[in-house]
A and B are shown apart, each in its own frame.
Chain A
Amino acid sequence: MVCSDRIRRWFVVLMTITWMVWPGTRSVAQTDEKSSTTSREAGLAAWQQVYSVLTYPRCVNCHTATNYPQQGDDRHRHLFNVVRGPGGKGVPGLNCATCHQSANADSTGVPGAHNWHLAPLSMKWQDENDSILSSADVCRSVTNNGLDGPGILRHHEQEPLVLWAFQPGRRRDGTQRSLPPLTHAQFVAATRTWVDAGTPCPQNP
């Protein structure tokens, strides 16, 4: 009996160590187990980090409230009369794929990633006057769009367009596009903490 308890205890210790040193074993599903250990305050602090990325031009340029995408760090209207189109992929003859391919075209300066498209209007992170929505409003938008916590985490970890924002390639003049304020690893870690805390949202002042 004593021996059996000792073996069980060692097994738990061994699994815990494995989980801590090998991040790959921490699947999205396991985030639920940690929810009881991550406080709402920690979750809200993590959300603010996530928010800082979501509202960076690399992301918000395609999360517009407008009938067109935006471009650049100044978020100007996309040139060339590009419009949103019914599915967020432009219109026949002038689709996103008319210029944006599955990877960055560094020799010509056109950014690209798989399935380049605009986020739906329900995921707009700016208002019609081009002002960034508040942290509370973006949080509500993110949490009320059909993805649960693990789904949001998976989106931030794996979605090609999210990954692109952290490797946005070079402009036509050869200079590097600016990067979000966090690395992708930091962004995913912050998302995980926020999800573990139960995706809490701040209140509007």
Chain B
Amino acid sequence: MEKYKLTVNGEMREVTIDPGTPLLWVLREDLKMTGTKYGCGISACGACTVHLAGVATRSCVLPISLVGGRPIVTIEGIGQDRVGRAVQDAWVTEDVVQCGYCQSGQIMSAVALLKSRPKPSDIDIERSMGGNICRCGTYVRIRKAIKAAARQLA
């Protein structure tokens, strides 16, 4: 067991845990931040996506020992960000969610996309969101909401 200091959504948090523990479980079990979801555990579905120093990152395969001093932003904190707020608003306006399980990961990836590509094309969206799986098939509404957020941010 080792002690780690993490910056999560702007707040300093401290945990004592096995170095191999994935960040996802630190967030969910130790910090009780359950907005980030466990889907596949092998980075295949994207449900566990968080931002690590601004990079969309699969928290289910990231051992806590490799986080270092990089700030973490989760779905609980993304709304404090201008782009994050716009994406969340668009998600509500476009009524994207069906069961909702994958949507925190979808939103985190969408925010990462819009921060790099303020006006993404359909291909940009398909490629960037291609690692986030939605079993309800809300892909069309996701694309619509990303474009709506892009328009709002323009």
Q: Give Cα A93–Cα B50 distance, bound, in whole angstroms.
A: 10
The interface residues of chain A lying within 8 Å CB-to-CB of B21 are: 107
- In the assembled complex, how far is the CB of residue A67 from the closest CB belonging to chain B, in whole angstroms? 10
Q: 0/1 per residue, B2-38, Cβ < 8 Å to A?
A: 0000000000000000011110000000000000000
- Residues in B101-137 with C-beta less than 8 Å from chain A: 109-110, 112-113, 115-117, 124, 127-132
Q: 0/1 per residue, A88-107, Cβ < 8 Å to B?
A: 00011111011101110111
Taking the complex as formed, is B96 at the interface, i.e. its CB lies under 8 A from any CB of chain A?
no
Whose C-beta in chain B lies nearest to the C-beta of A106? B20
- In the assembled complex, how far is the CB of residue A54 from the closest CB belonging to chain B, in whole angstroms? 28
Q: Give Cα A172–Cα B43 distance, bound, in whole angstroms.
A: 12
A-B contact count (CB 8 A): 84
Q: Would B109 and A80 count as touching, CB distance under 8 A?
A: no
- In the assembled complex, how far is the CB of residue B127 from the closest CB belonging to chain A, in whole angstroms? 5
Known: A82-B131, A99-B43. A92 touches B57 (CB 8 A): no
- In the assembled complex, how far is the CB of residue B18 from the closest CB belonging to chain A, in whole angstroms? 8
Residue from B22, B43, B129 with most neighbouring chain A CB atoms (10 Å): B43
Selected contact of B127 from candidates A91, A103, A172, CB within 8 Å: A91
Q: Would A94 and B63 count as touching, CB distance under 8 A?
A: no
Q: Give Cα A181–Cα B12 distance, bound, in whole angstroms.
A: 46
Contact count band on A:
20 to 34
The interface residues of chain B lying within 8 Å CB-to-CB of A83 are: 127, 130
Q: Give Cα A97–Cα B112 distance, bound, in whole angstroms.
A: 13
Q: Would A101 and B66 count as touching, CB distance under 8 A?
A: yes
The interface residues of chain A lying within 8 Å CB-to-CB of B42 are: 109, 172
The interface residues of chain A lying within 8 Å CB-to-CB of B22 are: 107-108
Q: Give Cα A105–Cα B19 distance, bound, in whole angstroms.
A: 10
- Residues in A104-124 with C-beta less than 8 Å from chain B: 105-110, 112
Q: Would B117 and A107 count as touching, CB distance under 8 A?
A: no
The interface residues of chain A lying within 8 Å CB-to-CB of B44 are: 79-80
Taking the complex as formed, is A81 at the interface, i.e. its CB lies under 8 A from any CB of chain B?
yes
Known: A81-B131, A107-B21. 6 other contacts (CB 8 A): A80-B43, A93-B128, A94-B56, A94-B128, A108-B22, A109-B61
Q: Closest 9 interchain pairs by CB?
A: A107-B20, A81-B130, A92-B116, A93-B128, A93-B109, A108-B61, A93-B112, A93-B113, A101-B66
